A and B are shown apart, each in its own frame.
Chain A
Amino acid sequence: MVDMPCISVRELKKDYIVNRKSPGLASAVKNLFSRNNETITAVGGISFEVEEGEFVGFIGPNGAGKTTTIKMLSGVLYPTSGCTEVLGFTPSNRKREFLRQIAFVMGNKTQLWWDLPTLDGIALLRDIYEIPEDQCRASVDLLSDLLGLKKLLNVQVRKLSLGERMKCELMASLIHMPRVLFLDEPTIGLDLVSRKAIREFLKQYNKETGATVILTSHYLEDIKALCERIVFINAGRIVYDGRISDLMSEFAPEVIIKCVFAKPVGEEDLAGLGQLGVIVENSNNVEIGLRVPRSQGPKVASSITSDYDVEDLLIEEMPLDGILERMYVNEPVG
C-alpha cells in the first residue's frame, strides 16, 4: 500500500462575496436598490501536503487566508474549487467517521457549555463521540493533570478566566483523541505563563500520540517552539512552505558577522573590513557587525581571524521576526 499523506490539498480556492457600502444613511438607501457586491478571493488556489505526525505552523498577516484554509480542511467551509483530502476523506462531506477523528480548537469560540462546568460539557462530548466512560475518565485525569486543571473542572465555564477556559477548551477537544488537530490561534490573548503551558502541552500531545497538528498563531515564539515546518500564507497564496531553518537561507541570503577586536581598529583596517562586507554596526571601533552574503560567511570569518587581532567572532542569522515582518509587507528580504 502506498503511504498516503495525512492531508493533501490541490489548487484549493475560496471566494467570498462581500457587499461594499460607503458610510452613511444615503448610501444605505442606495444599497437597498443596487448592491455593490464584490468577489474577494480569500484563498487563491493553494497546494500542499502534510504527513501524519507533522506539526505545521500556518503564519501570515491578518486576512491572509490562514483561518479560511483551516476551516476548509476541517469541513466547516465549502471550498469554491480545488481538492482537499484529510485522512482519506473529503472534509466538506462532513462524514461522521471523519469528524470523529479530527478536532478544531478556536481561540475565540467555545464548544463547552457556557453555563455549565467543564465536566458536564465533557460528559456530553463523551456521549457524542461514544467514548467508554472509564476511558473518558482516564483521558480527563491525564489531560487535566498535564494542563493543571484539576480544581477548575467543576467551575461554570463562564466564570473561568480566558487562559483557564482555553485550557479547558483544549482538553474538551482532545478527549476523543483526534488524529488531526487544527488550532486557530489557541493562545490569543493569553499571558506568557499560560502560553508556555499550552505550548508544552501541545508538544507533548504531538509527540506521544503522533497526531498531526496544524497551528495558526501570531505569536512567533509559539511557532518557533512547536513547528518544524511553516507554511507562510499571504494574500491567499503560499509564499513559503518548508523548515524554519531553510526559511532563513531562502529569505535571508545574508548573515551578520559580529566581531569583537582586542583593541580599537584604525581607519585603514575599517576600510579593509568595509571591502569584505557592509558594516551594519560599529561600537567604538571595537565591536563591529558586518553583513555578508551567506555563502561568503565562513570565508570572510576566517580571513578576519587571520588578519586581525580578534577576541571573539560570531556568525549570526538575521532575526526571524525581522524576516517575517518584511515578508508580511511584501518587501524583499536581505
Chain B
Amino acid sequence: MSTSRWVKTLIISQAQVSMTYKVSFFISMFVFIFPLLAKIMLWKAIYGAQPAGTTMGGFDMKDMVTYYFVFQMVFELTWCFIDGHEIIPAIVQGGLTPNLMLPVSYIKYVVAKYFAYMFVPRFFTTLALFPPLMVCFSSDISLHLTAASVLLGIVSLIMGCVFAFAYHLCVGLAAFWLENRPPFSDLMVMFLGGMIIPIDLMPAWLQRINVFLPFQYHIYLPTKIIMGKMSVAEALAGLAIQALWVLALIGGVNLLWRRGVKRYQAYGG
C-alpha cells in the first residue's frame, strides 16, 4: 500500500522534470531515423544487386526492411539507459549516498524514476512516430499482423522491457566492482541481439552459441513474433525461455545489489 504511494509521487515528480527538458528530449527521439534509413538503403542496394526474389536467411528484401523497422520500434519501446544514466554515476561518483539513507529500496526508487523519466515519454513518442513512418515506407514493407502475432508480440515486448531493465540494472550494478561500465555490455546486446544484422544471417556456429545466451530475448524475439516469422508453438517456446532469462536476470540484480552495496565507497566527501 505505502510502497505504491511513494512510487506514485516519485513518478509524478519525475514526469514534471521530464517536462522541463522536453525540447531536447523530442529532438533525441528523432535521431534514430538516420541510422535506420542508412541500413534500409544499404540492404536495398544489396538485394538490388541480386536476381529478383533472392532471400537471405529466409528474408526477402521487404522482410529485411520490415525487420529493421520493427526491430527499431521494439528497441525504442524497450531499450533502457538506466545503467549509464543513473546507476553507474551514482556508484562511481558517490551520488548513491543520499539514496542509501532513504528507508526504501534503491532499485525500486531508480526503476520508478527512470520509468517516468525516459520510458513513458519514449513509449508515447514511439507509438506516435512509427505508424506514419511505416506508412511512408509501405511499398518497402510487408507486415501482416495476425491476432496471434499481435498478442504474443505484446507479451514478448513487455517481457523484453523487464529483460532490458534487469539486464541494464545488472550492468550498472557491476560498477560496484569495475567502477565503470562492463566492456562490450551494449555491443553484445546489439550484435548478438540482432541489431546490426538479423541473427538468421549469422554463421551457423554463432547461432548455435547464441541459443544459450540471453541477448536475442530482448528485442529480436518480440520482433520475430510481431513479424509473424514464428509459428505459435515456436513463439510460445521462445516466450518460455525469455521468461526464464528474465527471472535469472532479476535474481542477478538482487544478488549484485546485496553484494555490491557492501563494496560501496561513498566517494566525493
Contact = CB atoms under 8 A, between A and B. Distances in A.
Given A74-B101, A116-B16, A108 B9 contact: no
Interface string A101-127: 011101111110101100011011111
B95 A109 contact: yes
A108 B97 CA distance: 11
A102 B8 CA distance: 24
A96 B269 contact: no
B102 interface: yes
Interface string A65-92: 0010001001111100000000000001
B101 A184 contact: no
Given A124-B10, A127-B9, A109 B103 contact: no
Contacts of B155: none
A116 B262 contact: no
Contacts of A109: 94-95, 97-98, 268-269
Contacts of B100: 75-76, 94
Contacts of A177: none
A128 interface: yes
A99 B103 contact: yes
A184 B265 CA distance: 16
A129 interface: yes
A110 to B, nearest CB: 7
A111 B101 contact: yes
B97 A115 contact: no
Contact residues on B (Cβ < 8 Å of other chain), bracket: 20 to 34
Nearest to B99: A111
A115 B17 contact: yes
A96 B103 contact: yes
A130 interface: yes
B13 A116 contact: yes
A100 interface: yes
A190 B48 CA distance: 69
A243 to B, nearest CB: 28
Given A99-B102, A130-B2, A120 B97 contact: no
A74 B97 CA distance: 10
B5 interface: yes
A16 interface: yes
Contacts of B97: 71, 76, 104, 106, 109
A71 B266 contact: yes
B264 interface: yes
Nearest to A115: B17
Contacts of A94: 100, 261
Contacts of A75: 100-101
Interface string B88-99: 000000110111
B40 to A, nearest CB: 38
B20 interface: yes
B188 interface: no
Interface string A195-217: 00000000000000000000000
Interface in B1-55: 2, 5-6, 8-10, 13, 16-17, 20
Interface string A232-252: 000000000000000000000
Nearest to A172: B98
Contacts of A107: 269
- Identify the interface centre among B2, B95, B103: most chain A CB within 10 Å of its CB: B103
28 contacts: A16-B265, A77-B264, A77-B265, A78-B262, A78-B264, A96-B103, A99-B102, A102-B101, A103-B101, A106-B97, A107-B269, A109-B268, A113-B13, A113-B17, A116-B13, A116-B16, A116-B17, A123-B9, A123-B13, A124-B6, A124-B9, A124-B10, A126-B9, A127-B6, A127-B8, A128-B103, A129-B103, A184-B269
Q: Which 7 A-B pairs have the closest CB atoms?
A: A111-B98, A127-B6, A99-B103, A96-B103, A115-B17, A78-B262, A127-B9
Interface of A: 16, 67, 71, 74-78, 92, 94, 96-97, 99-100, 102-104, 106-111, 113, 115-116, 120-121, 123-130, 184-185
